[in-house]
Amino acid sequence: MNEISRRKMLVAGGTLGALCLASPANARSLWTWSPSGSLAGSGTGTDPNWVWDDEADQLLASVIDRGDVPRVNQALRTWTRNDQPLPDSLPADVRDFMQRARQLPAWADQRKLDAAAQFNRTKGIYVGVLYGLGSGLMSTAIPKEARAVYYSQGGADMKDRVAKTAKLGYDVGDLDAYQPQGSMIVTAVKTRMVHAAVRHLLPKSPGWSGTNGGQKIPISLADMMVTWHSLPTFVMRKMLEWGVRVNSTDSAAYLHVWQVTAHMLGVRDEYIPATWAAANAQSKQLLDPALGPTREGVALANDLLDIVAEVDGGLTRPMIAGFSRYTVGDQIGNWIGLSREPFWETLVRTAWPKLVAFREHLMPLPLIPDAAWALEEVIRRFVLLFFSEGRRISIEIPDSNRPS
């Protein structure tokens, strides 16, 4: 570990020590969110902390135990378009499952999905930077997710891992996402299978078992919705906070594309919020208490920022750290060990709202300070990198954990 990352660990370790006892991460709140606020409109009300994805989980456990992962991965590499028939070389049980899993829900509305794609395009810079630096970094402050990612096979190669996460952001925002020629159905079904594999593998990881706070099987549907809220719920909240103009059609469409995505990832409709109001209420109950500091989260956040900094040899890293802190806030920033960058933090705080106002046609050009354009340039480059990394990735089912 180099000097800087060791120092960051120590700084964040101090925060960690101070917060460990009070950390809300291990607290289990009672599940009171009513299924009447869900897409299903009704349901059993069962606490999703105790619900996983039975059908996929049983199938992937069997695929792993009988040594079929390489064969399935080889076949899956050739399946890339939503409208493509499933490869013949897949084992019959995997094929049957995928045939069902690839069907869009009856409530999917193509018009809304198209509107969401347009929205992602017109607001691409905000959505891109918020996925990458907002949701991406926030995920490292979700202890259960940070530990699952750290101790799983993908945790050993963060560059690959970040690129794969970018793929979902890219695919979900793509103009063709859920069109026949798009690839979001493919990405979602493969990811659902990856999560099912992780549920079978991680309980055998000594690193994960020693830090999981008593959870026996990872990635419950409550965990899924925690992460879901760190994506669309957080992104929409930040865009509104920043003063980005979002009309009601766009807002409904953006929610819809993520509702469909949750369903395709195996979340039951009774846990998927039907409205933004229901989403915000569920996020308060699920995401807020799930955030906290961990050693693994600090390491992952550090890796993530290293990858971003690679593009220009680290020159813009302080600016990216300043922007990230502005986006996720001081508390999360401290938890994940973001460096303090007083100069850049001040610049971002003053320049970014002006850039947004200019882009949203609420402020004329002469009022934008020159320094703001340097920030704009870095963010634009980051968004480009984020989405291009996502373009050429194939999601693979793991058959082992991170080597310890």
Residues near ligand HEM (CB under 6 A) are: 144-145, 148-149, 152-154, 161, 164-165, 168, 191, 194-195, 198, 218-219, 223-224, 227-228, 265, 395, 398
- Closest separation between CB of residue 11 and ligand HEM, Å? 26
Rank residues 47 and 376 by Cβ distance to ligand HEM and give the closer one. Answer: 47
Rank residues 234 and 326 by Cβ distance to ligand HEM and give the closer one. Answer: 234
- Cα torsion through 76, 80, 86, 91, rounded to 10: 0
State how far the alpha carbon of 212 is from the alpha carbons of 35, 84, 148, 150, 308, in Å: 28, 39, 9, 12, 29
Rank residues 221 and 356 by Cβ distance to ligand HEM and give the closer one. Answer: 221
List the structure tokens of 329: 């806030």
- Closest separation between CB of residue 382 and ligand HEM, Å? 19
Beta-carbon contacts of 220 under 8 Å, excluding residues fewer than 6 positions away, are 48, 49, 50, 51, 52
- Closest separation between CB of residue 141 and ligand HEM, Å? 13
List the structure tokens of 273: 């919020």
Burial class of residue 183 (count of CB atoms within 10 Å of its CB; 0-12, 13-18, 19+): buried
Cβ atoms < 10 Å from Cβ of 175: 13
- Closest separation between CB of residue 390 and ligand HEM, Å? 9
Q: How far apart are the first and last CA of the chain?
A: 17
Rank residues 226 and 351 by Cβ distance to ligand HEM and give the closer one. Answer: 226
Rank residues 35 and 297 by Cβ distance to ligand HEM and give the closer one. Answer: 297
- Closest separation between CB of residue 149 and ligand HEM, Å? 5
Lookup result for tokens 């050429």: 392
- Closest separation between CB of residue 67 and ligand HEM, Å? 18
CB-based contact 254:236 (threshold 8 Å): yes
Tell me which residue has its CB nearest to ligand HEM. Answer: 154
Rank residues 151 and 323 by Cβ distance to ligand HEM and give the closer one. Answer: 151
List the structure tokens of 268: 């039951």
